[in-house]
Amino acid sequence: MKTNTTNKNPQTKYYHEKYPRQRQAYPGLESKMHPLPDCGEDTYTGTGRLAGRRALITGGDSGIGRAVAIAYAREGADVAISYLPAEESDARQTAQYIKDAGRRAVLIPGDIGDEKFCERLVARAHKALGGLDIIVMNAGMQQYSKDITKLGTPQLVKTFAVNVFSMFWMARSALPLLRPGATIITTSSIQAYQPGKDLLDYAATKGAIVAFTRALAKQVAHRGIRVNSVAPGPIWTALQVAGGRAQDTIPQFGMDTPMSRAGQPAELAGVYVHLASDESSYTTAEVYGVTGGNHTM
């Protein structure tokens, strides 16, 4: 019997050492992180599952958004990404990966915490791509706070605007443009199910996203539009080094999971591809956990 030499131990397949302490101003740049997150730049291989489709991805400059953008392009989709102006350099790198896959890349900078920008974002992406088939609501704001009495209203409002209100604004603008077969994919978190005490406002938004996803899915199912969510666990992205967690917790980031390490953005790309493709045609109102073993139910 031949031994299968292609399987890799998931505990050691990606970076699994302690992370060095590092701090960036919000929102942070992936290009300045050490080690760099793995977004599948050198590993993701497409098979044409999204050929001819047109996708809009928020937060597509880096992290999970970049991994999804690379995967979608290599699966045959044209991709528009949104990002904050401060993330322009990361966004241009992502755009180059999309172009290298032979697909169109559209860059739309702006703040999804602003209602008018969300409306313009959908309209611009629809026009530039000639339509929309996939919307990935991925961008998020995460700032840790150890004490609710010191959690200021400006941070609270901004976190909900970016993480939750933007989904209402984008969905409201996009639904008149979407045709049967279109998909919407939101990004929740393990924090919706196992909230951390230092991420009170962030965890609350991620719980809201689960409810939003399931309710919207039921509302639009009769139109042939599916809505699902992905719930990542601890994933190595710029969120973590730009105020998303306390500096003294960075070295052990992700080591408290059953997998004993943090995840990499590349490990989520396949789930986003599956939910955008016809392979998941009977799946809606679901949340897919990619959590390293910290279950969502």
Give the angle 126-217-61 at the CA atoms, nearest 5°: 45
- Token match 């962030």: residue? 202
The rounded distance, in Å, linking the Cα atoms of 225 and 238 is 32
Alpha helices in 114-230 (DSSP H): 115-129, 153-160, 166-174, 200-220
Asked if 202 is an active-site residue, the reply is yes
The amino acid occupying position 276 is A
CB 292 within 8 A of CB 234: yes
The single residue of 14, 72, 193, 202 carrying the catalytic annotation is: 202
Say which residues have a Cβ less than 8 Å from residue 229's Cβ, sequence separation at least 6: 185, 186, 187, 188, 209, 210, 213, 286, 287, 288
Return the active site residues. 202
